C-alpha cells in the first residue's frame, strides 16, 4: 500500500476527518471510531510506518514521542492516576487491521489482563 492510499496517512494529512485531540510536529492523536473503553485514542506518527516489524533504529525518537503523547492524553482525559493501557498490535495474530502503526490509549474503566 502506498502512503496516498493509507487511511491513517489521510487522517494525518487532514484529508479524512477525525476527532483530533492532540498534535505535535511528528504525531497526531484522535478518538477511535469504535471505542473499546470510555477513553480510546489512537496515537500515530505523521510519517507512514506499516507495522512494528518495520521500525528502524532511527525510528526510536518517533516511538518515544508516541508514548509522550499517550502520557499527555492520559492527563488531559483524567485517567493518568487511575490507570490506562497504551498498546500497539502487530500483524494478523494480534488483530492489526490498519497497517500504519498506532498506539491504542485505553482507559476510563477497569481493563482485564490477559487481553483476549
Ligand atoms: P488495529 O486493529 O490495532 O489495527 O486498530 C485499528 C483501529 O482503528 C480500530 O480500533 C478501529 O476502530 C480504528 N479505526 C478505523 N478507522 C478509523 C477512523 N476512520 N477513525 C478512527 N478510528 C478508526
Ligand atoms: Zn500511513
Neighbours of 15 (CB within 10 A): 10
The whole model's pTM is what?
0.98
Ligand 1 atom with least separation from CA of 18: 20
Task: Check if CATH label 3.40.50.170 holds for domain 3-107.
Answer: no
Helix (H) or strand (E) holding 39: strand 39-45
Task: Reply yes or no on whether the pLDDT at 1 is more than 70.
Answer: no
pLDDT, tens digit, 9 for 90 and up, residues 38-94: 999 999 999 999 999 999 999 999 999 999 999 999 999 999 999 999 999 999 999
Distance 34 CA to ligand 1 centre (A): 7
Contact 33 CB / ligand 1 (< 6 Å): yes
Known active-site residue 40: no
- Sorted by sequence, the CB contacts under 8 Å of residue 72 that are 6+ apart come out as 22
What is the C-alpha to C-alpha distance for residues 47 and 36, in angstroms, rounded to an integer? Answer: 26
From the DSSP assignment, how many helices (H) and strands (E) are in the chain? 2, 5
Number of C-beta neighbours around residue 3 at 10 A: 13
Amino acid at each position: 500500500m502506498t502512503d496516498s492510499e493509507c487511511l491513517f496517512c489521510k487522517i494525518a494529512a487532514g484529508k479524512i476527518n477525525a476527532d483530533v485531540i492532540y498534535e505535535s510536529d511528528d504525531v497526531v492523536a484522535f478518538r477511535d471510531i469504535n471505542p473499546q473503553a470510555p477513553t480510546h485514542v489512537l496515537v500515530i506518527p505523521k510519517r507512514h510506518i506499516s507495522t512494528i516489524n518495520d521500525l528502524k533504529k532511527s525510528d526510536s525518537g518517533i516511538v518515544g514521542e508516541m508514548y509522550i503523547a499517550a502520557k499527555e492524553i492520559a492527563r488531559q482525559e483524567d485517567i493518568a492516576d487511575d490507570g490506562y493501557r497504551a498498546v500497539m498490535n502487530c500483524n494478523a495474530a494480534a488483530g492489526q487491521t490498519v497497517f500504519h502503526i498506532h498506539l491504542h490509549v485505553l482507559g476510563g474503566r477497569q481493563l482485564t489482563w490477559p487481553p483476549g
